Structure 1
Amino acid sequence: MLVAAAVCPCPPLLVPEVAAGAAPELDAARAACLDAVGVLAAARPDLLIAVGPADEAGRGAHPEGASGSFSGFGVDLRVRLGTSDTGSGRDLPPSLSVAAWLLSRAEWAASPVEGLGVGEPLEPERCIAAGRELSARAARVALLVMGDGSACRTLKAPGYLDERAAAFDAAAARALSTADVAALQALDAPLAYELKAAGRAPWQVLAGAAEGAEPGGQLLYDDAPYGVGYYVAAWS
């Protein structure tokens, strides 16, 4: 059963070594993420599962001990899910590497940690079904859900300016702030894909996991640096 969830953005720029001189611009987001991870630890889960968007190579389950690298972003830095050093045959996708970095920064030791990479085009029904399966993995399950809102909030955004982006992001922020499971499940998947909203699928996995749990929600951060919607929320 889901006992807590933290929702965090997943840009590699969240890692100071990657952001370099621009690192202070996301200090508030980093602090909010660590606060959200603290909510997870306080829930004393039996299992923590990090969920994030992934390309085809990174989709599916990643066991505790799986590692990831930021070498593709010009930084010689490796991270690992949890404390096990058993590793696996493939690297974590960038979103789960950021999750692993956050957990390392928070000195996570509350439970074993696993990962799930989710394809951004995955249909809402399959996302919701995956979330239900995750919530049944242990008596007390916590999720660290990585994902961004639209990437079309400004002219300089990665997806350029799209007038639909602000309304989409506002609806997502409301749902995350109030732990509105139905509203997350109802997010428009084709529109999210057009707006390059990488968080849609992971958020709908969360919505499936939270069915019947009736959590309370709190939005800890809501901003759009670089024209991309970044949110941090804590559910418990």
Structure 2
Amino acid sequence: MNNPILFYYNDGKGRAELSRLIFIYGDISFEDKGISFQEYFQMRDSGQLPFEQLPILQVDGTTISQSCAIARYAAKKAGLYPNDNVQAAQTDMIVDAWRDILDIFYGCYVDRVVDNGRLVMKMREPKVKLEKLNEFFDTTWSMHLRRFEKMISSSSNSPFLVGDSLTWADLALFDLLCTFDENANLWKTESTFFYIPDPYGPYRPSAEILKLPLVNELSKIIKQTPSIKTWLTSHPY
């Protein structure tokens, strides 16, 4: 069996990063293939993308689309998907929330419109982006952080979201924590798609996380994992 190949935009983390973290944590070999926008359009127009979206994962000639499906496949390979059906459903619930949060976040930057029967992204005006980002951090993200804290506190004296060992759901939360950290590179580099001088308004994610000791502790546990630590050093957010 050949190594699975994960396709995403060059230097992009986004919806592909959860699958990367799972593969890396589980010591599963994979090929991380970044493509240009021109290559993306070529793949889309030639019918290689089942839903005309990235990421995709190719496994021995079979193409898997949709970020949650790819991450779930990776989690099962890595032993990070629970065998218990109820716990499995709980992790699905959390990863679905991960996707919902990212959908709202990306919606701060772009408006999805249909053009000639194809879904396209239209960039929002800078003022609108900033207003929507301020609202996102002050409401959606803050609210979900408190929900995640409550889930950990209900998890049988465990530092994890579901059960007594780390699952793909914990890595989904970790991905969000890293993405929305105010020190992440995507906020500071003017050439990036996500650059905004101050996307938070009066809200500061690090200050909020310090108020949530269980979320903070989970993040520390994952960061201290040697394989994750090495990955973050060479591929910072």
State TM-score, norm by structure 1: 0.33
Q: Which has the larger radius of gyration?
A: 2
Structure having the larger proportion of residues in strand: 1
State TM-score, norm by structure 2: 0.33
